[in-house]
Structure 1
Amino acid sequence: MKTAVALTIAGSDSGGGAGIQADLKTFAFNYVHGASVVTCLTAQNTKEVTEVMAVSPNMVKAQFEAVINDIKVDALKTGMLFNQEIISTVADCIKSWGGDNIVIDPVMVSRTGAQLIDDSAVEVMKRELFPQALVLTPNIYEAQLLSCMSIHCLEDMKQAAAKIYDLGAKTVLIKGGAAEGKNKGIDVFFDGQGYTIVGIKAIDTVNNHGTGCSLGAGITAHLALGKSLPRAIASAKEYVTTALEYSLEIGSGCGPIGHFFPLIESQYNG
């Protein structure tokens, strides 16, 4: 039986809730083998990030080539790329790979609204990475930055998605996890022709660390399994929503979603 393989190119979260760690858990619990390229190391927990260190661009490239030269990758995603040198290196690597199932999570702004990379790095990402994306998955704050508009409602999300689409990605999915009120948890997908509202139910929990990473990883996993993009998005949304229902109360801050909820369910039901 063929094993589907997904590759994540992202930063390491020492607290285990987001980044590479979240991506690999999401891949595994969606029946896909995960490979990884680490772009930066973070010292973080449920409360804060205390230190960040970039991996050299040469080492990023070496990791990518080591995987691609031996293992058939069916889909890949990017996460935190940290600086413009790493962004350019990753863009070149993905171009050399030549695959179509490319999920770009433009990690620029956190769920709290703090910009994570400088403006010059944003421009490099827009120019070199976005045109390669099958789907671009910004959160609300990243969508505001990329569309140069404020987002307050569903109609704003649609307008922003259309503007971001014009930056070159084949499709755009604006993640609504950081939205307020009735639009919380509702995502907007735009393919250049029409809009699809993607929503199941909003889960009221403070333990939502890694939600955005995991949604992108879920999409990547289901693309690797051969699903169409709309089906991959729907499957990923269902997985993340359930993982939020089983979110973990660990640490004294914002805990992670429960990536391994199938095991939790088995324990409870057994």
Structure 2
Amino acid sequence: MEDMTPPRVLTIAGSDSGGGAGIQADLKTMLALGTHGMSVIAAVTAQNSIGVQGYWELPAEAVRAQLNSVLRDIGVQAVKTGMLASPILVETVAEFLAELSAPVVVDPVGVSKHGDSLLAPEAVGTVKSRLLPTATVVTPNLWEVEQLTGVKVEGEDDLRRAADAVLELGPRWALIKGGHLPGDPVDLLTDGSTEHRYRAERLDNRHTHGTGCTLASAIASRLAFGDDVPTAVERAKTYVTGAIAHGFPLGAGIGPVDHAWRWR
């Protein structure tokens, strides 16, 4: 029966009541890619297609109890982190991750798609000092790169400088997402010695809510299957590009990517 059990992937993040990002997007991605998704909820958001109307952190003991429940009984083959909100939650999660041998994908969530803050300013230093050193891969967007390192990316030529600055904080690999740069999107992945660039056409679809969560969860899912990091990122990018292409309107604002696009 163990041969029938799919790879197990854990997301540690915030809940999105609108279903497009956060824990909900993570679990949908994990299912779509053939893994068994599990969740540790760190925060609850009131969120829709227009923005984030509020969020509430769970107590550290609640996050710790969820981690103990999953890790001591079921175990994991990969972990993805997202919104962790506060210094104490970042520290709590990092403490557990430092003891894991499974690969860890850190999405250093700072703001929502609509520009709403999802990380307390005083938590940024804790992310840098405690969380990033546990990461197999960290997946910042350009705003998050600047928040973490002070490096401002204004063109593709700046991507490697940004990645090197992120690597100095301790992760094994840095994936710098360049989708907000002019021209066709390009992301840069490096471990400091090897470099990979992933290019795609820019799709004419505004419904892209949940893109970052989906990409990080897809990478974690592929790592759980045993892919090396560059292969996991390449396959995750293919999945996310399709999800963006099929993103659909929802509510009055920005709709989500379609996690089930391969099934429709």
TM-score class normalised by the smaller sequence: over 0.9
Partner of 2:188: 188
Cα RMSD (Å): 1.3
- Pairing 1:1-270 to 2, within 5 Å after superposition: 1=3, 2-96=5-99, 98-111=100-113, 115-177=117-179, 179-183=180-184, 185-264=185-264
Q: CA deviation at 1:144?
A: 1.6
Structure 1 contact 111–141 (Cα < 8 Å) conserved: no
Q: Deviations over 1:33-65 (max 9, x none)?
A: 000000000011000111211111000010111
Q: Could you report, residue by residue, the CA deviation over 1:204-224 in whole angstroms, capped at 9, with x for unpaired residues?
A: 211000000000000000001
Structure 2: gaps spanning 5 or more residues: none
The superposition leaves residues 51-81 of structure 1 with CA deviations (integer Å, 9 ceiling, x where unpaired) of 2111110000101110111113100010000
Judge conservation of contact 1:110–1:141 (CA < 8 Å) in 2.
Answer: no
Residues in 2 aligned to 1:149 and 1:226: alpha-carbon distance in whole angstroms: 33
- Deviation of 1:119 after TM superposition, in Å, equals 3.1
| Cα distance, 1:203 vs structure 2 | 1.5
For the residue of structure 2 that corresponds to 1:129, the secondary structure is helix
User: Contact (CA 8 Å) 2:47, 2:54: kept in 1 or not?
Assistant: yes
d(CA) in 2 for partners of 1:113 and 1:48? 8
Post-superposition CA distance 1:237-259 (Å, at most 9, x none) = 00000011110111110000000
% identical equivalent positions? 39
Letter in 2 for 1:44: Q
TM-score, normalised with respect to structure 1? 0.93
- SS of corresponding position for 1:82: coil
Distance of 2:105 and 2:207 partners within structure 1? 25
**How far apart are residue 7 of structure 1 and its match?**
0.2
Q: Give TM-score scaled by structure 2 length.
A: 0.95
Q: In 2 relative to 1, CA 111–251 (structure 1 residues): closer, same or farther, beyond 3 Å? A: closer
Residues 142 and 152, structure 2, Cα contact 8 Å, conserved in 1: no
Q: Which runs of 5+ in 1 are unaligned?
A: 265-270
Q: Deviations over 1:140-188 (max 9, x none)?
A: 10012222122110111111111111111111001123x13214x3111
